[in-house]
Structure 1
Amino acid sequence: MRRLLASLLLATSMAWAAVPPAMAAKTHTSVAKLPVVVVSYKTVDVDGVKVFYREAGPANGPVLLLLHGFPTSSHMFRQLMPLLADKYRVIAPDYPGFGQSDAPDHTKFDYTFARYAELVDGLLGKIGSRRYAMYVMDYGAPVGYRLALKHPERVTGLIIQNGNAYEEGLREFWDPIKAYWADGSSEHRNALLNLVTPEITKFQYTDGVKDLTRISPDNWVQDQALLDRPGNSDIQMDLFYDYRTNVPLYPQFQQFFRDRKPPTLIVWGKNDKIFPAEGAHPYLRDLPNAELHLLDTGHFALEDKLDTMAPLIRSFLDRKVAKR
């Protein structure tokens, strides 16, 4: 055994000795120069609510605010952020009731999109971000657009992914939710509880996706664990009901588009049953210069189309946002 170990050590030493010094130096240098992006995970108190957010990139870089949808959190941007953070300051908060932010009892806190916009605005003020492009998805669209109505001069650009501002996009999926809007009854509220079940959570990640091997099951496992927290179903039902308040604001959102003409990139999963492609096309009425890309995927397009979306997003930011 000792002879065998001695032989192996000798062979290893001879192999390393045979490597030319230049090659050894090159190998060492290439490893040393591997880019490493550090994402920070922070919490800030905003009006008595602890708001969690992810942040990466240079403190003085152009800001991209990433606003997530239902039923996920800033977790949905975990793979995109490192691809932009060499140049851009990327900030992704969790709304109360989602992810790692506080989830106060729904009887003691107003779970509304107006309140979410106020808290995101407060977060940006606390961390010193006065101008920003916004990536809006699903719930992130009404949150972001309400923020834009408060501070239209601060918005340097829009990236829109399966997030609605036009009634054409509210199709069959929304019929039971609209029934709840109509009367606010317990019957219609309880009928929506299936939307927070494991089957529907998984459906949101997998429906319309051609290659399911690209979708990590961690997504729906994590989301469902958070949905299953005591009291969270009531939070989600309150938000489904409050979503009705976004629809009357659609004309104001559209006026913002026409008045401010923010540079806009639309990257939309065309197979999405929740926010179908019918909701993407109307943006071009008010933003005729928007860049529209319909992708062959479903609701959470970043999960399987990151390799397509990231270059589009990076090119758009570099061309349209970086110098604004």
Structure 2
Amino acid sequence: MTTPATPVLDTAGTVYPEFATIAGLRIRYAHSPRAGADTVLLLSPWPESLLAFRPIWDTLAAEFALLAIDLPGFGLSEGRPELMSPRTMGQFLIELNAHFGLTQPHAIAPDVASPSVLFAEALQPGTFRSLFIGSGACSFPLIVDGVLKQIIEAESLDMFRALDTDAIVLNSLSEIKAYYTLPDAIVADYLAAAADGRFVEAMNFVRAYKTDLPALAPQLPALHTPVHIVSGRHDPNVPVADAEALHRQLPNSTLTVLDCGHYTWEEEADTYARLALNWLRGGYQHRPYTAATETVIAIKHQAIKLQRRFEDVTAALESLLGRIDEASLALAATNPAQAEQQLARLGGYENLILFQIQDHGTLLRLRGAAHKAKQYVLGNPLIALQMTQHDLRAALYAPLRLLVYETTDQQVWAEYDLPSSLFGQFQNEAVTTVALGLDEKLRRLLHRADTPTDEQ
């Protein structure tokens, strides 16, 4: 394979690359020693390089010894054709550990490194103490999409050789811009990693998924090494479904889904680093619940400064809202049609119903504090039904919560989580449509409650 040029970097944070000869190849690496600490091996994603770990490097280096590697044929490491498959890359990783004298390091191995470390464990159980992987296709049957699917399914790579490699890489990296601005020097490094035909040659690795992943699949249930899978909900190339399928096949795994795209380690660097730290500090030793899944979502929180006094706003809310009738709800078990008719008559302003009031201000008197704060539990069972009939998980957030309180300087505020961001996590168009309607209902309800009677 082509030997990459070494670019001049203006800055790479605290990641300082070096080169070593391993298995006859010039391999780029970076390290941060820490005496007495566990070693973490960080393996480069594609089409990036080991500099992809720059946003999380200092956080991890504060507690662990780090060794980052550009895999053969990726980043700025030399490669050879026979290594361009997950199976043979897994064997190389075993040799890599021996070269550096590593005994059961942890591995952070996103993207193409994910199936490679799984193969290393299958070939030699105990190669790694734990695996922190994701954003790389690992399950079979293949679950891929976008450009990755096109590369894997293409009859040959000839069509890709005529394309502008820089444009392809930059287009893929553009996804990161909404979350994190890549330094120019890092972008230059990524482009150098793809130059002179190296990007197309690296495609042979993912094309080998068609033969290697069917061989890996039956071995996954026997891999007892702790595995944490981190996936981006909006990954255009490796859907969450791949991570979910892998999670089901592994006997000792945890799955976390972040609200971002493919490049989880850069797009959600702070969360990624936190998850990795918790895992490396000992979380890997705690066997998870069967099929446990952690999903990280972005919630839009509304804080609205009101004009009226606390007493006026809360009195208006309690007057505007309908009241729940438990007997009508109970009737659904024996006479659904009549129950629906009765529930339909309960709605107040914006067809919203009050389920409960929690007077947190009064509760705080138990600690000798005098405050004004009320939490309202509100919604409508029939509106909730419009969502739960499509996805039962919507019941987690129905009814809604609204807090009205007064600060020490007599300012009155209303706060709540935007329904569309709560329910939107379920990625169901019908549910989201109803939730967007709830956004508007809450907005109009608060406006009405904060408007003096003579202006209504």
Cα root mean square deviation, aligned:
2.9
Letter in 1 for 2:38: P
Counterpart in 2 of 1:312? 275
Distance verdict in 2 for CA 1:233–1:77, change over 3 Å = closer
Q: How has the CA–CA distance of structure 1 residues 127 and 249 changed in structure 2, closer, same or farther, with 3 Å as cutoff? A: same
State the match for 1:177 in structure 2.
151
CA 38–198 in structure 1, closer or farther in 2 if over 3 Å, else same: closer
The change in CA–CA distance for 1:225 and 1:46 in structure 2 (over 3 A counts) is closer
Matched, 1:146 2:146: no
The equivalent of 2:92 in structure 1 is 119
Equivalents in 1 of 2:244, 2:149: separation in Å?
A: 21
- Spell out the pairing of 1:196-211 with structure 2 (5 A cutoff): 197-207=165-175
Asked if the contact 1:113/1:142 (under 8 Å) is kept, the reply is yes
Match in the other structure for 2:210: 244
How far the C-alpha of 1:313 sits from its partner, in A, is 1.2
Partners in 2 of 1:233 and 1:117 — Cα distance? 20
The 8 Å contact of residues 136 and 159 in structure 1, kept in 2 or not, is answered as yes
Seen in structure 2, the aligned counterparts of structure 1 residues 242 and 81 have a Cα distance that, compared at 3 Å, is: same
Q: For residue 129 of structure 1, report the CA deviation from its aligned partner.
A: 0.3
CA deviations 1:90-118 (Å, max 9, x no partner) are 221112232232256x5xx6533344333
Query: Using the alignment, how far apart are the partners of 1:301 and 1:53 within structure 2?
Result: 21
Shift of residue 159, structure 1, vs aligned partner: 0.9
CA distance in 2 between counterparts of 1:169 and 1:193 reads 25
Q: Say whether 1:283 aligns with 2:251.
A: no
Q: Kindly tell me: are residues 313 and 165 of structure 1, through their superposed partners in 2, closer, same or farther at Cα, counting changes over 3 Å?
A: same
Instruction: Determine helix, strand or coil for the equivalent of 1:170.
Output: coil
User: What is the CA distance between 1:234 and its match in structure 2?
Assistant: 4.8
Deviation larger for 91-100 or 47-56:
91-100
Q: State the identity as a percent.
A: 23
1:195 positional shift? 7.6
Aligned pairs, how many? 272
How much does 1:271 deviate? 0.6
Amino acid at match of 2:191: Q
Render the CA deviation track for 1:71-97: whole Å, top value 9, x for unaligned: 111111122222112322222111223
Residues 32-80 of structure 1: CA distance to partner in whole angstroms, max 9, x if unpaired? Answer: xxxxx96553322222112121111314421222122211111111222
Change (3 A) 1:78 1:304: same
Structure with greater contact order relative to length (CA < 8 Å, sep ≥ 6): 1
Correspondent of 1:128 among 101, 104, 127: 101
Name the CA distance, whole Å, in 1 between partners of 2:89 and 2:50: 14
- Indicate if the aligned counterparts of 2:222 and 2:251 stay in contact, CA closer than 8 A: no
Gaps of 5+ in 1: 1-36
Structure 2 Cα separation of the partners of residues 299 and 41 of structure 1? 24
Is 1:224–2:191 an aligned residue pair?
yes
1:48-63 equivalences in 2 (<5 Å): 48-63=24-39
Contact 1:135 / 1:159 at 8 angstroms: preserved in 2?
yes
5+ long unaligned stretches in structure 2: 1-12, 287-456
Structural mapping, 1:31-180, within 5 Å: 39=15, 41-103=17-79, 110-167=83-140, 170-173=143-146, 174-180=148-154
Judge conservation of contact 1:193–1:233 (CA < 8 Å) in 2.
no
The residue identity in structure 1 corresponding to 2:145 is: E
Equivalent AA in structure 2 for residue 177 of structure 1: I
| Structure-1-length-normalised TM-score | 0.73
One-letter amino acid of the structure 1 residue matched with residue 215 of structure 2: L
- 8 Å CA contact 2:141–2:214 kept in 1: the answer is no
Partner of 1:18: none
- The alignment's TM-score, normalised by the length of structure 2, stands at 0.53
- Contact preservation (8 Å) 2:20, 2:28: yes
* Matching of residue 189 in structure 1 with residue 189 in structure 2: no
Structure in which a larger fraction of residues adopt helix: 1
Structure 1 residue 318 displacement after superposition: 0.9
Contact 2:19 2:26 (C-alpha < 8 Å) held by counterparts? yes
| Counterpart Cα distance in 2 of 1:155 and 1:256 | 15
Provide closer, same or farther for how the CA distance between residues 88 and 296 of structure 1 changes in structure 2, counting only shifts above 3 A: same
Go from structure 1 to structure 2 and tell me whether the alpha carbon gap of 1:172 and 1:286 turns closer, same or farther (over 3 Å shift).
Answer: closer
> What is the one-letter code of the residue matched to 2:128?
V
Cα deviation, 1:136-184, whole Å, max 9, x if unaligned, reads 211101221121122212322121221222136523334433433xxxx
State the distance in 2 between where 1:297 and 1:136 align: 18
Q: Which amino acid aligns with 1:223?
A: Y
Distance 2:128 2:252 in 1: 16
